[in-house]
Structure 1
Amino acid sequence: MATGQLHRNQEKRRILQIAHQVSATIGNDFFRAMAKHLARELEADHVLVGEFCAGRTERIAILASMAGGDSEHIECPLEGTASAQIATGKAVLCRSVAQHRFPADRALATLKAQAFVGIPLMTSAGGVCGVLMAVYRKPAATLSVAKSLLEVFAPRAAAELERKQENDRLRESEQRYQAFVMLNADAMWRIELEQPIPIDLPEEEQIQQIYRYGYLAECNDAMARQYGLERASQLTGWRVSELSPLTTEGVREAIIQGIRSGYHSTVELSPVDEEGNRRHILRTQWGIVEQGMLQRIWGTTRDVTELKSIERELDASERQMSDLLETLNLLVVMMREDGAIVFCNKHFYQLTGWTAAETKDRIWFELMLLPEDRKLARAAFQAANLQTGAPTHYESALLGPKGECWRVAWDSTCVRDAEQKIVMSANVGRDISEFKMLEAQFRQAQELESLGRLAGGVAHDFNNLLTVITGYSSVLLEKKSPDDPAYPVLCEIRRTAEKGASLTRSLLAFSRRQAPRPEPVDLTALIAVDEPLLLRLLNENIHLVTNLQPSLNFVQADPGQIRQVLFNLVVNARDAMPHGGILTIATSSDGSNVQLVISDTGVGMTEDVRRHLFRPFFRTDEECTAAGLGMATTYRIIRQNGGQIEVDSSPGGGARFRIQLPALP
């Protein structure tokens, strides 16, 4: 009995001695002093104080681990450690093989622990905030005394740990305040009210009371600089009426918007500064409302004047670019990477007849290109996206909404953003349809020229032979009577020779070997005179209609050549109407030109036939026995007389030949 009392007295003396030694310390000094003295009294190799840390992974941080003046600082994941079991709120004792029992515990491994006793540090709210542990490097026969002594100091250690954590939170809060408020580039402020304002008052009354009771209680240096000051302390205390007078443009409207939004709004103000420059301010404000009463207003203010200036410059640049694209007499098409159309300029829509609604977001290659051009266009499109230098050039047909077709030369390049990523493709095109037509006409003229020289030489020699045949056959016919058996034969010889002479004249006209004899010609009168002959060329099931303008201006041409053109076109129309139809011949004058139009309701022709129609020896019917010079000769005669000939036709839609010749003054 007496021995037990002695032990209890000794334990009390040790506790009082340790308490006296650590009573004057706080914070980490307290943890180190307590661990040092407890380690000595418990003859432990280490006494450590650990703090549980929350986060993505729960951890334990050893705040103090003392043994004879040595200190170990360890931090490791909580999972799998002895401290994880202590975190449940219960003491944990291990008399041996501690590292084998807790292999994941880095603290025990670092301290080479074989035995330990750990006590949870409980918060005032009943939670666990840390651990107090005595560690031994050799197995321990008993840990009850150590457990008792640790339990005595655990409440003080827990209270000190709670105080430390509160101080840490305050320090972090102050750091956040410094980082997010005081050092923020945006103006940040707090308006306090000398008395709360009911938010159910009329708007004007709320505004009056805000200006009557409101003052700046807190702000950062950024806000002071907006008012031409250096430090926040120079601005603190200003009344709301001084900070933002109601007479300033847009202020009243901004406050009303804030009231209507429940004091949570973002508005843009455009005040004029002392130097007469307009500023642009973006203000965000939110009020603290409790039980229907506005207590205070927090807010931020950002000067976006420079940003607005940049936006205006960008807008002006975009407008200039847009105006340039719209006024260019070129085709402009902007596409995304997938070929979807984003923009087409005015000239594009005017030329093609497409509308913005019809082209927006449509795939360019499928909508406006011929199948045979799509592969080339896609290759050029991809090439433009791969290179950063000169644009890629290609040509393609451009289709209109009604099937019209233009030939266009394109230059394609890619548009990149600031990070050099491709945002779209820019394609600028030039309508080369007329150029291509002139180019084709030039090639055709070259073909006609070379063929003309050949045909002229042959025709000249052939004409000499036909002259002899015609002459001798005529002499023989004069010496024969119609009853003579040889008479019909001689007639056929002469008729055949005359046909050959007609072909020769066509060849000579084609080759220009036969000199034309131009004179003033009235097309209306010439057609009226030749109408009976034209009727003889037509089948009975073809109806001839003439629409001839009286008092037509004269043209300077060879009448024989004009007749040849007329006959060639009439025969061509007849052959195009094997089952009958209507042939219309019309003349007109616009002052500077005389126009001859010959149209039929025949079978029409394909685009390929129309392109080759005026080539020498070209025939639309393989079974036709004609030489194929009629349309080529027609073309040559019209061009020789300074005129133009155009053809409009489609399969099943007949054909319309339009000839224009310069009128005589």
Structure 2
Amino acid sequence: MRSDNVGVVKRFQRASTHRAALTSQQRPRRDGQRFDLRDRTAAANQLLLCAIVAVLFVVGLVGGFIHRPELFALGALLIGLGGIAALAVPWTSIPAGWVAVLPLVDIVAIALMRQADPIGGLGLLWVFPAMWLATLGRAGLITSCVLIPALYWSLIALGPEPVFSFASFLLPLVIIAISSAVYASARRFAAQRDLLDAQAARLAFARSAAVQQEQLVTEVLDTVDFGVVRFSVGGDVVYENDAVGRLGGSMPRLHAAGETRVLLQEDGETPLDAHDHPLARARRGESFEDETVWSQDAEGRRVALTFTARRLLDHRGADAGGVLVARDVTAEQEALRARDDLVASVSHELRTPLTSVLGYLELAIDEDDHSERVRRYLDTALGSGERLLAIISDILLTSRRSRTSVEAAVHPREIDAVELVRESVLALGPVAADRVIKVSVTETGHAVVYADPGRLRQVIDNLLGNAIKFNRDGGAVDVTVSTDGEATTIAVRDTGVGIAAEDQEHVFERFFRASEDVAGNGLGLAISADIIKAHDGTLTVASDPGVGSTFTIVLPAHAETRMSR
């Protein structure tokens, strides 16, 4: 059963796509939103002036401050009509320039009100239409800076006492200064608004592209046949592809109600502890690759799964959670098992008659009535048969899937590693001499190792033989033996062709051959690795293509150190 988080993620993706679509549909209405802003600006400016004039009209009538109430009332009426027009006229459906009619009417109305009381300072009300005109652009600025001073000076000149003083220039200068400041502010506001609109458009485009990319990645992940699980930093599952649902029948979940199935380790027999469940390990932040476990599906069929976990980093290099990939490898495991069974069966059937052939060859060699020529033929046939029997024995050994089969054939004891290495070098000396390859041994003295001498000699012979086989004519091989009292190290270094980086992790696999130019069956290193593991040791490789390779064996020096490892 899939996690509920998956449904949440899917719904979130669909909602994101829907919101992106709505955003793209609403974007062309931005100009309409500006028209709505023009409606609100006209109503706010005119209604504010209407409120101020209404207060002045009431105060003037009550206090008797107005000398000519009829002119004041006419001006107030014009401003009131302007307020009604600001609310009633659909400014979004007519050209933008028509909104300038309202401040022009206000200028005339304020002139009538000033004539009703020339000394009342009502000319200050021209500030409101002046600011309004300045917000309409350069033409509005020029109109307010020319029309209002000209009208003000005309009213002074036509008055009963046409006296021009310092105060006659103060109001026009104030009107011009305020209009210029409002015009500059409006320009800056318009530029900022255009910049924000452009940034919003780019952001909407980037968001739409990100949503489309997310959809594409999700669709691709849903089409693959391996499960992908995305974890947050806290270990919560934030995404699962469709394949996880298909694998859910064979992949038990942690802490699932009623879950009784368990995973088995790679051997298919040992139960896997819940703490070592791949999902639990991935949630803890571990990284691993191709961890094979066995389980059972709902129908009771054994299923092999491999898990790979990786940690993710964000753009700052901080932990961003992890991802777990699960793949059904049942068919591959069954194919490998069938191959091993076939190889083991064929090898076993070949071993019995071959042993009989070798026995008769030895009996024939023991006869004294053979010529030297016939004896040489028999020796060659016996040697070839013995090599063939050794190959068959190696195939039988590697076909056994459990380490216990190797451990049963290992009988370790404390021996001198230096002596064992020198014997191997002496035995392979003629092979190296044929290709003028110098073989040297570097050691610091007596080095004790706890190992089976026959099995360890087999490993050293194999590594030294490979170092000679894959070397250049006239090259060199150096075998280094050292110990620290707890572990003994044997390193075989050559100056050969080296191993490619992508092949180094496969060199210890059965039937793998890094080079097809040199004869071999691809079993020697696999057998050597199994033998070293049976000794609780390690066998590693380090290689530089074109320079050479180094195979390093690390084994316990004593039985006590082996038990503690």
TM-score normalized by structure 1? 0.40
Higher helix share: 2
More strand as a share of residues: 1
Q: Which has the larger radius of gyration?
A: 1
